[in-house]
Structure 1
Amino acid sequence: MTRLLLVRHGQTLWNHISRYQGHTDVLLSDTGREQARLLARRLAAEKVAAVYSSDLKRALETAEILAAPHWLTVKEVPELREIHFGVWEGLTFKEIQEKYRDLAERWYQYPATVRIPEGETFEELKERAYGAILRLVAKHPSDTIIVVTHGGTIRTIICSLLDIDLNHAFHIRQNNGALNIIEFYEGYGVLTLLNDTSHLDCQESR
């Protein structure tokens, strides 16, 4: 059995103000680093064989914080990047609504196939990301591994696992610093934990 600890990166300043990041390489905020440290504390007792990450800095820094207690070096997997938002990258939700209202409405309804100009579809994201996950699982048939990636990417992975129509991806919540757990038995995946942020409770109470 492969135990996949699937993590969304910590918060960035762009997350905080609802600015679309995609492939734009935005750093973690201080809040995001603290989220990663709290999750690292939670996972410190796990017997982790490897830590993998999207090659974008917000995911990579999160992964490095999680890897430190296990004395592991993070391995970058570019296929685990967030969806490419094309011309929307760097814009806030409000700006997108003002400049691209019709396209935005279609994209929120049909993200599987509607393409943002100069960007990609959720179907394309799913193909590259879930394929990468299956390769990592095959590489670690009896291990626990950590994979740090992005909100949209995790949504497509979960949709692929559960055979959910990608057009329903936005019905799956993924908070910054969230932990998901998938157990793979000879390639058959079972989702055992979804969007768990209980390790952040002490942060929220400050």
Structure 2
Amino acid sequence: CDRAVHVLDPAMLLTADDYRTLFTAGSAPSDTLYCYLFRVKPGARHILQDFAERHNLRIVRTTDRPNAARGKMPGIGEWLAGLHEARYVITDSFHACVFCILFHKPFAAYINRSRGSARIHSLLKQFGLESRILSSGLQEISMLDTPIDWEAVDRILERRRAESSAFLDAHLCPAPDTVTAAEPDGRAATAKAPAGTGKRIPAAKAPLPEIV
């Protein structure tokens, strides 16, 4: 559709400070290589371990599967804290890339073909971060040491956030202080929007960290 407008992922409409309210500073280990990977090829563990040892880091691994030995899944705050406190992040998750950008975290994006890569490519292209993609696999992990120009990234983020918010406000909000909901009989009902709308983050579950 030639009328489609590309807006930011909703997670990026909030700031890093908004998300920091969900966890306590220091609640997650620092000096870590945070690996949020759904699937990697055999031999990846050796590459990750070698990088971690050369940088005197611990590896924290998370996936979408709970650790049966721990018996529970952590809250979203714990997962965010893990990303926030890590020294480096390597991931094949779109939203992990989103939060690395928000938290100014050196990261590398591992492309998992089975899960699709279009969103990650699109996200990183917006911010001029295509170089963070491990195009040849984990063998390029040393690129984590290449610094990111966060000032340039923040300028783009500020502009895109303003553009996206303006578009969504204009097309989704019937009035600045109202929201529309459906009555049981299908009729539309208008009510005052709750204070702080846009700052509420729904409860969610996140992968369980495993320190190795």
- The structure richer in strand per residue is 1
Instruction: For CA contacts below 8 A with separation 6 or more, give which structure has more relative contact order.
Output: 1
| TM-score relative to the length of structure 1 | 0.29
- The structure richer in helix per residue is 1
